[in-house]
């Protein structure tokens, strides 16, 4: 995978190519050789000097949405400088380019729309999907993130406005794992929207009709997947923010024959399992001691439970017993076998228990060691629930994983205060450190960015034909093992984001090893796999063109 696209430009065309443009950083020699003399101000500025302008302009913005627009504008004109800013200031930038700000950006996508990014495929394009994908100018695509916009974070159906999610995810592939931006393709499949507000919005960018479903929908997705295999045969397809009924169906349909995974199901599962592994280092318990109570039985919750069950089975527990360690509450109460309203993905987790919607009685009966919030409903972890968890656990594990921040089941401050500082806490979106009774707690953020970029890099380097669950188990263990004792003592259950490239490199190595061990790799195994992985990672520094 080359570090730069093979196309070459000069003059004004070069300045309008974000993958090649360096702006005022073009040297005197480059300006002469590339017909840039006079097209730029006379002073040559270094990348570091350009960064000063970027940071000053960004930090003067009054809102996170304005900062998002500013960063996307930078990405549109100079991707190298954009990724330098992200990588050097990841803890500051990630909440802007991804959760929680990306949720608001998707809601306002029609209002803030400036330049298109990626490929839009609509229901009107049936029969022409391959021709549309062929319009993409960069042919060495290695990672595609695709959404149909029906379940954007915890915000629901945002239709074509959901393009902010693939764009943001692929930015993290580059920033966190070094996948070159020229190898990344964001795709939105627009089949309409059931969001009445968007249908009435004159600035909405998508099809203004209700969602198509059934055979027509399935045929369009089939056509897309087949076209990708033909045009970009080495590409990994990541399904993102599809509604539950389609997410599980598409994953099960393609996972055994296509290089694909669903991040909402598998990536979330791996980062949550890693958090559980890390919590065990704090509580002194073992995985086989755990009893997990899930709030929400959708993609995230059942995905986490599925991977936890695989981990328990790997430790010698019979699968039937492992399933009894994962109980679910949905909007209608406890997920039990006697209910007649359960959909396919919930049936596998139904327990042989009496139906009830009384959460405190469920906690009394099941005596969970951990609460896993994947409900998308803020405030679900009430004071009485958190205090009850503290009664039965010395160190209750509280994961409020719903995104964005406004949808979290509880805040970090609530978790620490209502458990007397005893909670082992993680959230899906970031919370600031909490001072409680003289002690500062650093909340863990169960950000999928710890998992999917490294897994993707491992798949790309090995050329793995498939993305099996074994890769996500390995990623979860690797992420937990990367946490230092000092970080644990500070209350962290995930490493700081400043270490994310190191973590992604480790996960890529573990993922690639799985591909070679399972006979899935299509690239011969090199003598020094770690060195090959590091060499494949894009470093956002300017290269000379002369």
Confidence of residue 8 (pLDDT cuts 50, 70, 90): low
Crossing angle of the two packed helices 452-462 and 164-177, in degrees rounded to 10:
70
CA 143 vs CA 98, 173, 268, 309: distances in Å: 18, 9, 18, 29
Cα separation, 493 vs 106, in Å, equals: 30
Q: How far is CA 377 from CA 312, 356, 359, 381, in A?
A: 29, 19, 15, 9
Asked whether the beta carbons of 46 and 80 are under 8 A apart, the reply is no
Q: Whole-number mean pLDDT of the chain?
A: 95
For the cut 50, the answer to whether the pLDDT of residue 6 exceeds it is no
Q: Which of 475, 474, 479, 397 is nearest to 443 (CA)?
A: 397
pLDDT value for 470: 97
Q: pLDDT tens-digit profile of 237-274?
A: 999 999 989 999 999 999 999 999 999 999 999 999 99
Positions of CATH 3.40.50.720 in the chain: 266-449
Max CA-CA distance within the chain?
79
Q: Where do you find CATH 3.40.50.10380 in the chain?
A: 46-258
Joined tokens for residue 162 = 């959901």
- With a cut of 70, say whether residue 4 has pLDDT above it: no
Residue 518 has a pLDDT of 98
d(CA 345, CA 299): 8
Q: Classify domain 266-449 at the CATH class level.
A: alpha beta
Length of the chain: 546
Read off φ and ψ for residue 509, nearest 5 degrees.
-65, -45
Beta-strand pair 439-441/333-334: unpaired
Q: Please give the full DSSP string across 457-514, using - where no structure is assigned.
A: HHHHHHT-S---HHHHHHHHHHHHHT--HHHHHTT-SS--GGGHHHHHHHHHHHHHHH
Instruction: Catalogue the active-site residues.
Output: 98, 169
- For residues 162 and 241, the answer to whether their CB atoms sit within 8 Å is yes
Say what percent of the chain tops pLDDT 90: 91
Q: Domain 46-258 maps to which CATH number in 3.90.25.10, 3.40.50.10380, 3.40.309.10, 2.60.120.260?
A: 3.40.50.10380
Please tell me the predicted confidence (pLDDT) of residue 12.
92
pLDDT value at residue 429:
86
Instruction: Output the 3-class SS for 354-406.
Output: CCCCCHHHHHHHHCCCEEEECCCCCCCCCHHHHHHHHHHCCCCEEEECCCCHH
- In angstroms, the first-to-last Cα distance of the chain is 22
């Amino acid at each position: 995978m080359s570090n730069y696209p093979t196309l070459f430009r000069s003059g004004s065309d070069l300045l309008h190519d974000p993958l090649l443009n360096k702006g005022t950083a073009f040297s005197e020699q480059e300006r002469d050789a590339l017909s840039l003399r006079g097209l730029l101000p006379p002073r040559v500025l270094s990348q570091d000097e350009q960064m000063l302008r970027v940071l000053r302009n960004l930090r003067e913005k009054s809102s996170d949405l304005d900062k998002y627009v500013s960063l996307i504008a930078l990405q549109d004109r100079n991707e190298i400088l954009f990724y330098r800013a992200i990588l050097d200031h990841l803890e500051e930038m990630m909440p802007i380019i991804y959760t929680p700000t990306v949720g608001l950006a998707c809601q306002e996508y029609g209002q803030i729309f400036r330049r298109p990014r990626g490929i839009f495929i609509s229901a009107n394009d049936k029969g022409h999907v391959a021709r549309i994908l062929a319009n993409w100018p960069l042919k060495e695509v290695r990672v595609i993130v695709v959404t149909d916009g029906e379940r954007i974070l915890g915000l629901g159906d945002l239709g074509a406005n959901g393009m902010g999610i693939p764009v943001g995810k692929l930015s993290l592939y580059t920033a966190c794992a070094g996948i070159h931006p020229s190898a990344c393709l964001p795709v939105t499949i627009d089949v309409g929207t059931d969001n009445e507000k968007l249908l009435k919005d004159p600035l909405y960018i998508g099809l203004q009709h209700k969602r198509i479903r059934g055979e027509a929908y399935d045929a369009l997705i089939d056509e897309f997947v087949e076209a990708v295999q033909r045009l970009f045969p080495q590409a990994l397809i990541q399904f993102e923010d599809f509604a539950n009924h389609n997410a599980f169906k598409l994953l099960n349909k393609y996972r055994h024959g296509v290089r694909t995974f669903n991040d909402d199901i598998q990536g979330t599962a791996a980062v949550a399992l890693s958090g559980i592994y890390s919590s065990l280092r704090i509580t002194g318990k073992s995985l086989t001691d755990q009893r997990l109570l899930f709030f929400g039985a959708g993609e995230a919750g059942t995905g986490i439970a599925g991977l936890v069950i695989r981990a328990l089975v790997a430790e010698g527990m019979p699968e039937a017993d492992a399933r009894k360690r994962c109980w679910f509450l949905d909007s209608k109460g406890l997920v039990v076998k006697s209910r007649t309203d359960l959909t396919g993905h919930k049936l596998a987790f139904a327990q042989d228990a009496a139906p009830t919607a009384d959460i405190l009685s469920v906690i009394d009966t099941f005596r969970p060691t951990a609460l896993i919030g994947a409900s998308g409903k803020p405030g679900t972890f009430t004071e009485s629930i958190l205090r009850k968890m503290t009664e039965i656990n010395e160190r209750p594990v509280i994961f409020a994983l719903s995104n964005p921040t406004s949808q979290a089941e509880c805040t970090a401050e609530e978790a620490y205060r209502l458990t007397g500082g005893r909670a082992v806490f993680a959230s899906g979106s970031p919370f600031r450190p909490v001072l409680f009774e003289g002690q500062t707690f650093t909340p863990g953020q169960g950000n999928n960015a710890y998992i999917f970029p490294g897994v993707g890099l491992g798949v790309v380097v090995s050329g793995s034909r498939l993305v099996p669950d074994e890769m996500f188990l390995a990623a979860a263990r690797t992420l937990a093992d990367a946490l230092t004792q000092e970080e644990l003592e500070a209350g962290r259950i995930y490493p700081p984001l400043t270490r994310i490239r190191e973590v992604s490199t480790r996960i890529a190595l573990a993922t690639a090893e799985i591909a070679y061990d399972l006979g899935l790799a299509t690239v011969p195994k090199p003598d020094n796999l770690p060195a090959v992985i590091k060499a494949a990672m894009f470093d956002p520094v300017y290269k000379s063109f002369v």
